[in-house]
Amino acid sequence: MFLDKTILLGGCIAAFVTLSSCDNKQRGQQIREEAQREIVQKKLSEKALKEQIIREDNKVHGLVSKINDTEELSEFELQIKELELDECLVNQGSFTIFAPNNKAFDNKNLSVLDKKSSDYNKVEAKKALKYHVIQNKWTAEKLESEIVKSGGSLELTTQNGASIHATLDKTNIILNDESGHTARILSADMSASNGSLYIIDSVLMAD
């Protein structure tokens, strides 16, 4: 009888120890998972804060601010605001913009950007403007160097997926669009917190 009770007691203790061990393992797993979630949440919060700081800095010192402060780009400024491209250009990332001056928009063949034209379409107009934007910051020095390395013609992929080709005419950078027209850079490499701004004398058009 005593032996049976001892065996029973031992079994109960073993079961209790086993259950306690399982509980401890589960609790340990829960603690690790909670800690991992906190780490992930902290990283996401830090990333969001960093992006917000960059965004606010770009609003003050970025490309859009440079465009707004340049009188001869007032028409280009109006266009990017109308099509909400200005918001895209203050987000994280760096860009190079080839902005046509006001005189360039006097061209009567620019129906795609003329709101009074029956051919005007916001989607197509946005594509036309994005054709003037390329990813990353390209300084004038870098452009000239890469043109030479590329044998005299450098292909640049724009934000609408089409390409422009940059060439050199003596010391001047010339942009060649897909429709066969050229644009000359009038003012080069206006540096901003999120890229480079160039003023050109013609509106570029994709094929």
Domain assignments of the chain as residue spans, ordered by start? 62-200
Q: pLDDT value at position 137?
A: 94
In eight-state DSSP terms, residue 139 is -
Return all residues near 17 (Cβ < 8 A) that are at least 6 apart: none
Indicate if the pLDDT at residue 123 is higher than 60. Answer: yes
Q: pLDDT value at position 100?
A: 96
Mean pLDDT to the nearest integer, 39-60: 52
Q: pLDDT value at position 114?
A: 83
The whole-angstrom separation of Cα 143 and Cα 140 is: 5
pLDDT tens per residue across span 178-194: 999 999 999 988 889 89
Count other C-beta atoms under 10 Å from residue 126's C-beta.
Answer: 19
H or E stretch including 186?
strand 182-192
Q: pLDDT value at position 50?
A: 46
Q: pLDDT value at position 89?
A: 85
Task: Report yes or no on whether pTM surpasses 0.85.
Answer: no
Superfamily of segment(s) 62-200: FAS1 domain (2.30.180.10)
Q: CA torsion 121→122→125→130, rounded to 10°?
A: -150
